[in-house]
Structure 1
């Protein structure tokens, strides 16, 4: 009898451990890859990738496809490519890269995500980065990290510590020779140290490349891991030095750059999806005109970015009754055209502003000018011929921010900024829209493959008859 109890006890303990490992398999796999195939719950668990493939198989494009007119900007959940067939991908370069990544090819898909304090601290982008890399079974990395940042004390995906004398220039305080980077900052210093730790959860066996990025000047002197200083030329507006490539997630470097602008460090895998968060507090996007054409052109020559995203708007509604955004339309249109001209092979995407609320007569409501702002943002995208995503409608439209604050606890009491949970929710909406766009390319690719196979069979038959 006692022997039977021991058997039951041991069996129960083994089953509890087995189920626990299965339940937390995705987290355990990050640190112990050999546990990948130990999952009792695999057949009943939710798999985003399998679900996406299932949706793709069930998706039947309209026989009579429609062209996306300007009015299409009001659609939710869809990236709109204006004046193009609705079954065509709005972001062809991006979706082609995703196709290569799914096929296991060692390529990088790099995205520059511009925004204001809504994405500060890597909010939204940290979740989207994780979702995209998980979807394609890739390991993630944090991407670009500036020398200094107002969000470095609360950013969860990276830790940066600097010491020594550093002078900074930015969108709001700069000189004619500031050489601002995409982040809106550049840094100079006679001798300073930068320590960076990439905290993105990843496969610990995959190496991380740590690149020091800097601009045009005389020379840049660096000492990596307490080695002696070595001088590097700074002849271009965009230069990069590979500090190291290892499984170590941290790097330390001393820099001497009194006349050469230093931008920061990029931590990235040799292949995969990289999203660089370029947040700058309190701006509307028109400040991007201060970035030099020379820098953008050199980034384009290197094919550095596959996609550039503009996510602005809430700072334009600083007055509860503001409804006039024509001046913004004109200035932001100029910014987009500037980027497009300098970077002709890059995809671009304009996001509308999210919902935000004001207190009208003692009650919090959606800003009265938000429809006008979204219209103008869509018009910028339409007139500059770049795709548009209506974030405002996709997250729920009128009254959503009040619901996010009062009911769901997805945003702060300022009725503007999402918290961690809210940012993740919004990132998921964007992720779904990007996957829908990718599915269009996938369907098109399968059709092309089927046609090529049919043509090959037909030619073989003709040859055999001859």
Structure 2
């Protein structure tokens, strides 16, 4: 006679609860080491007060040294070549400016020089790495559209062969089937080398991928398509442009990352591939202007950047010549009471250094973590741990000599995510933006970016060079109308496609 297993249910339930309670006391760095979120069984009843300030200045900047956003601090300086005199260039009041920790004070020189001298006759590329905060071309799409309206360009830039958020992205329509995907998160052994985005793809039988422009959310057509692949022996790509006849090109097997220019234009392309290939992505573009390549990966803390070899970054850069690399991470690092970041900082700094070596021609901009809220009793409050991570991100920027932008402060600081949710700009997970919220963040980033462009242009005209800056830019009482002159003057300009960037500056 079979035993009655119902009697075992209470025992199994008690065992499960005991395991969950035990897991709740495991240190957070244990879960972070494996890219997992910590289990906090009692998070809804724990007291969530603001944490004590960091005690280890070697790893994290002292938050107590930070001033309020509207206080007066030291501003960036300009050194005149002729006289050697130093003049202040204050950050406009009410704006969060980019902090430059390059030893020369010229951390954004590469991208600003390229915009001034190259964008009118060749592509100027920006690599935007991030987590789920930018997936679906959130934020990136509006940032790209504004820069293209100001400096030219037509196309969304790099798109992977497949994507887990293809149905969510609105700037290009993307369908695919029969490709095997490898990524830094899955860590499948025996796969091909991972590409710049952290993914690689192997075509299987009857594979097909289709891309179509998505006006008005993206460009109405593309003028050039470039394919990135790796093959040890020759293969083929078959493609159809719109309703035109099918074409076929040979793909040379050279054993390293290779670019194939399809020399095509239109609003839709359908492709299939032969065997013996590792595919990475395609770039939709024209022969000039600005392109912002979205390299988002859900669940990535930034450590995923180390999953791509330095050699692969260098190979992509040899073909793309990026002038700015943006790193936006942090949402997958913090929990409400994450105050010790010694487990995270060294590895993330190693990732930043790898990016610097992989893209030696590029300026580097680290974007601080956004606001994130949790429920406490009947209200939502910001994670008390956010200032700790921002301090760590600023300190990493200082130590690696790159630029930093405090997104949390730009959003409004503590409690800002609740305001975004209430205004319909963010989702009710109190973590991720809606497209309208992404557009607002893009506006804030673009203003900070264009302020740096204005300073660069002024220095260039006057024959001056920025001096070293190691302190946070201040918000001295400057003329807001003068500081926003670039924004207002460009709001009425249109590029050849008829777009103008006024929506970003409303």
- Alpha-carbon distance change, 128 to 228 in structure 1, aligned in 2, over 3 angstroms: closer
Q: CA RMSD in A?
A: 2.7
Change (3 A) 1:139 1:340: closer
Would the aligned equivalents of 1:76 and 1:390 in 2 still touch at CA under 8 Å?
no
1:180 to 1:244, Cα distance in 2 relative to 1, 3 A: same
Aligned 1:331-350 pairs, distance under 5 A: 331-350=347-366
Count how many residue pairs are aligned between Structure 1 and Structure 2. 375
Are positions 1:215 and 2:215 aligned together? Answer: no
- TM-score, normalised by the number of residues in structure 2: 0.69
The equivalent residue for 1:396 is 412
What does residue range 85-124 of structure 1 map to in structure 2 within 5 Å? 89-100=106-117, 105-124=120-139
- Return the offset for 1:293: 1.7
Tell me the residue number matched to 2:306: 289
1:35-434 paired onto structure 2 within 5 Å:
64-65=86-87, 77-82=96-101, 84=103, 89-100=106-117, 105-136=120-151, 138-163=152-177, 165-173=178-186, 174-191=188-205, 192-201=207-216, 208-225=223-240, 227=246, 230-235=249-254, 237-246=256-265, 248-257=266-275, 259-302=276-319, 304-317=321-334, 319-406=335-422, 408-434=423-449
Shift of 1:242: 1.2
Gap runs ≥5 in structure 1: 1-59, 450-466
Moved more, 227-236 or 425-434: 227-236
For 2:360 and 2:388, the matched residues in 1 are separated by 29
Contact 1:216 1:235 in 2 (8 A): yes
Q: CA deviation at 1:238?
A: 2.4
Of 379-388 and 189-198, the range deviating more from structure 2: 189-198
For residues 103 and 87 of structure 2, the distance between their equivalents in structure 1, rounded to whole angstroms, comes to 10
Instruction: Check the 8 A contact 1:157/1:200 in 2, yes or no.
Output: yes
Deviations, residues 298-352 of structure 1 (Å, cap 9, x unaligned) = 22334521111100101112x3222222211111100111121232222111110
| Partner Cα distance (2:376, 2:233) in 1 | 56
**Which protein is richer in helix relative to its size?**
1
Q: Residues of 2 paired with 1:338 and 1:133: CA distance? A: 29
Q: CA deviation at 1:233?
A: 2.2
- State the partner residue of 1:39: none
Q: Distance in 1 between matches of 2:420 and 2:222?
A: 39
Q: What is the CA-CA distance between 1:61 and the residue it aligns to?
A: 7.0
Where does structure 2 lack aligned partners over 5 or more consecutive residues? 1-76, 80-84, 465-506
Query: Displacement, 1:76?
Result: 5.6
The one of the two structures with greater contact order (alpha-carbon pairs below 8 A, sep at least 6) is 2
How far does residue 184 in structure 1 lie from its aligned partner after superposition?
1.9
Contact 1:80 1:389 in 2 (8 A): yes
C-alpha displacement of 1:260: 2.3
Over residues 57-108 of structure 1, what are the superposed CA-to-partner deviations in whole Å (9 max), with x where a residue is unaligned?
A: xxx979744699xxx9xx96211111557xx553111111211257xx3121
Between the aligned partners of 1:322 and 1:361, the Cα distance in structure 2 is: 20
- 2-side partners of 1:435 and 1:143: how far apart? 21
Which residue in the other structure is 2:6 paired with?
none
- Post-superposition Cα deviations, 1:379-416, rounded to whole Å, max 9, x if no partner, equal 1111111111111111111111111112x221111110
